[in-house]
């Protein structure tokens, strides 16, 4: 069986320094620029613009198409068939699938040749864990309740990112229900036909992240971090 290659990029948006080259805003399409202008808080706009430029630059490497020429669409909804499913490239063979997630200053982009989902979360407080427990699979809930209270937030956020990544990968999203599939500590690494992995964020314990890929064989997992220059006008568009 062919092993699926998985590429994951981390983006940590930061305010450009005076000597930094300008962001490659011209690569964004009209809808993206309009969305960027809607943000009231500068930090939200910075994160959005950084994520979209990075996504285009990453996908350009896989498609051989210039970042500004890439076009996106929504897949058909898995529940109703409407045009509001997960984002995807309009038409660029060979198949390239991607997923983007962000949380409090960290963006994760996952790319594979098959369906993929990514999720990143900042560690929550104990109140969030308690509020979400009833929504989990019964075995997941029992596992968390068996832990000391101090250990629950970290265990919960690792679990929740796995669930979100998997549901994004399937295209169902949380409307499918967080309790339907078991992705707890005792899972054999995947639901049938999928591989779900926790990402090592280089010792950054403020976040948890996971990726789900529709494949039972994963080859290399390349984890890269975007530099500020990667988002600039001067960066080469490969």
Using alpha carbons, select from 17, 16, 210, 28 the residue that is nearest to residue 103: 210
Longest dimension (CA), the chain: 54
For the chain, which residues make up each domain, given as ranges?
A: 4-231
Lowest average pLDDT, out of 8-17, 50-59, 73-82, 196-205, goes to 73-82
CA geometry: angle at 195 spanning 193 and 200, to 5°?
175
Q: How confident is the model at residue 144 (pLDDT cuts 50, 70, 90)?
A: very high
Tens-digit pLDDT profile for residues 147-158: 998 899 999 999
Distances (CA, A) of 39 to 22, 67, 108, 117: 19, 23, 20, 25
CA geometry: angle at 132 spanning 129 and 134, to 5°?
125
In whole angstroms, give the CA distance from residue 206 to residue 179.
Answer: 25
Tens-digit pLDDT profile for residues 182-209: 888 776 657 888 999 999 886 677 889 9
Answer whether 96's CB lies under 8 Å from 57's CB. Answer: no
Q: Determine the average pLDDT of the residues in 42-57.
A: 93
- Beta strands 106-112 and 116-122, pairing class: unpaired
> What fold is seen in the domain 4-231?
Ribosomal Protein L22; Chain A (3.90.470)
In whole angstroms, give the CA distance from residue 123 to residue 3.
Answer: 32
In this predicted structure, what is the pLDDT of residue 1? 47
Tens-digit pLDDT profile for residues 85-101: 788 898 766 689 999 99
Answer whether 24's CB lies under 8 Å from 53's CB. Answer: yes
In this predicted structure, what is the pLDDT of residue 145? 92
pLDDT at 4 over 50: yes
């Amino acid at each position: 069986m062919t092993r699926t290659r998985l590429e994951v990029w981390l983006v940590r948006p930061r305010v450009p320094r005076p000597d930094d080259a300008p962001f490659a805003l011209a690569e964004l399409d009209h809808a993206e620029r309009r969305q960027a202008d809607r943000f009231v808080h500068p930090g939200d706009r910075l994160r959005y613009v950084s994520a979209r430029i990075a996504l285009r630059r990453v996908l350009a490497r896989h498609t051989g198409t210039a970042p500004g020429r890439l076009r996106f669409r929504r897949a058909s909804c898995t529940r109703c068939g409407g045009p509001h499913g997960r984002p995807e490239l309009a038409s660029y063979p060979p198949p390239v699938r991607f997923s983007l997630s962000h949380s409090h200053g960290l963006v994760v982009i996952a790319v594979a040749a098959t369906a993929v989902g990514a999720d990143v979360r900042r560690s929550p407080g104990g109140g969030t864990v308690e509020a979400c427990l009833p929504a989990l699979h019964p075995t997941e809930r029992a596992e968390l309740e068996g832990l000391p209270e101090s250990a629950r937030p970290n265990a919960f956020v690792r679990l929740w990112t796995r669930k979100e990544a998997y549901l994004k990968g399937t295209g169902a999203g949380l409307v499918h229900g967080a309790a339907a599939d078991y992705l707890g500590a005792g899972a054999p690494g995947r639901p049938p036909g999928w591989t779900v992995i926790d990402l090592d964020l280089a010792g950054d314990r403020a976040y948890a992240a996971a990726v789900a890929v529709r494949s039972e064989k994963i080859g290399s997992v390349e984890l890269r971090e975007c530099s500020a220059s990667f988002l600039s006008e001067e960066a080469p568009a490969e």
